[in-house]
Amino acid sequence: MNPKDISVSDFSYELPDDRIAGFPQTERDASRLLIYRQGSLQEDIYRNIIRYLPDNSLLIFNNTKVVEARIVFQKPTGGRIEIFCLEPGPGYRDITHAMTLTGSVRWKCLIGGASKWKPGQVLTKTVTRHPGDPEILLEALYLEKLEDSFLVELRWFPHTMSFAALLHEAGLIPLPPYIKRAVERSDSERYQTVYARHDGSVAAPTAGLHFTDTVMEGLAAKNISHTFVTLHVGAGTFKPVQHPTLEQHIMHEEFIQVSRQALETLLTALNGPQPKPVIPVGTTSLRTIESLYWLAMKTLRQPGIGPEELATHQWDPYEMSRPPDVDPVQALQSLLDWMTRQYTDILSTRTRLLIAPGYEWKMTSALITNFHQPGSTLLLLVAALIGEDWRKVYEYALANGLRFLSYGDGSLLFRS
């Protein structure tokens, strides 16, 4: 079946509100873990996940960091306007660079109460910090309405602060829309992985929320290696498929960064008489490493392609002409060779990769992930990985009291 013809209603199920986790477990690694392998199911907790991971496997973690992307302004008239910072406006190289800028930025935003804010009007906010630290003065200027967001200029003083530091002082953690409560102080820690490094996400890579330093340290005891990639999760991850079939759905675009070291680690894992199982932690890590193959196909087809043109599009795996019989090892080597020609050790690009049933897997042996919303592209990805047994997994989770979505429990799914 062509993925464009997939009926989204075939990938739905009934999710009661009381099954959506509003808070995380007290201990990260005490969350329940459902293991699916070759049609069978068993249950444990994340603290024991190492028992179920194959020896000598390679885990892929997404080390993006959630930023305090929600900023609330109060107008002199009393009106409340909330700005939700999504991603840099036109002209910025990538999110990581834009987060380091000082003094001002132009950002694509969602605006709550947009009808109360006129183009050209400046909103101001004063943020009081710790005693002895100067106050922060923040200004927001409405520039223009875009297709699906607004372009806003943010200016602040002290102008020596980075944009990431400003958000940390002036903003709030953006909990998912289905968690219907106010942000609490604990969310600043718990809606963040223990290995988060690079500011830029407006949603957490939630499969990683269950990992602790103790679990990470235990991987080495079983000769399980790991590496990090970066995909800055956008608000589009919560965007429902609003059409009967996938053909009309526009997949959200997200920034990715992969180091030469991570690529070489992945290449080494796959290159040999017995390739290592590669297991992404989360759908964002999975989409990043699978995107690498399709990026490589473009470097093979067009060796001189520039960084600004090299990106993964939604339908690339299903429509892109490519050299025949290129395996993942050849693909990764081609991408490394391209990086050498570009004099870079960091691959920075964007991906819209849509993985649905019918997808041809390249890198992934299994997936660690949470339980996803009905009719979402994340659930379609799970169905692409384990086939019709996705229903078996989700029916078990619902019948046995597992908790769903971002702060919920999770699963280890081996590819069918």
Question: What is the tens place of the pLDDT at every residue in 50-88?
Answer: 999 999 999 999 999 999 999 999 887 778 999 999 999
The two tokens of residue 384 are 């692409």
151 and 232, same domain (yes or no): no
**Total structural domains in the chain?**
2
CA angle in degrees (0–180, nearest 5) for 353-238-24 = 115
Confidence of residue 250 (pLDDT cuts 50, 70, 90): very high
In a domain, 391, yes or no: yes
| pLDDT at residue 1 in the model | 67
117-152 pLDDT tens trace: 888 889 999 998 777 788 999 999 999 999 889 999
Res 325 pLDDT > 90: no
d(CA 104, CA 163): 8
Mean pLDDT, the chain, rounded, equals: 94
Peptide bond into 357 cis (omega under 30): no
> What DSSP character marks residue 349?
E
Instruction: Point out the domain boundary residue: 119, 141, 172.
Output: 172
In a domain, 186, yes or no: no
Q: Is residue 406 part of a domain?
A: yes
CA dihedral 373, 379, 382, 387 (to 10 degrees): 120
For 271, residues 6+ apart whose C-beta sits below 8 A from its C-beta are: 329
pLDDT of res. 239: 79
Longest CA span, the chain:
70
What domain range is 152 assigned to? Answer: 69-172
Q: Tell me the DSSP string of 58-127.
A: EEEEE-EEE---EEEEE-TTS-EEEEEEEEE-TT-S-HHHHHT-BSEEEEEEEEETGGG--TTPEEEEEE
Q: Is residue 204 part of a domain?
A: yes
* Mean pLDDT score, 273-293: 97
- Taking the C-alpha atoms of residue 380 and residue 280, their distance in angstroms, rounded to an integer, is 16
Task: Please write the tens of the pLDDT for every residue from 385-414.
Answer: 999 999 999 999 999 999 999 999 999 999
Which pTM was predicted? 0.95
- CA dihedral of residues 188, 193, 196, 200 (deg, nearest 10): -60
Q: How confident is the model at residue 284 (pLDDT cuts 50, 70, 90)?
A: very high
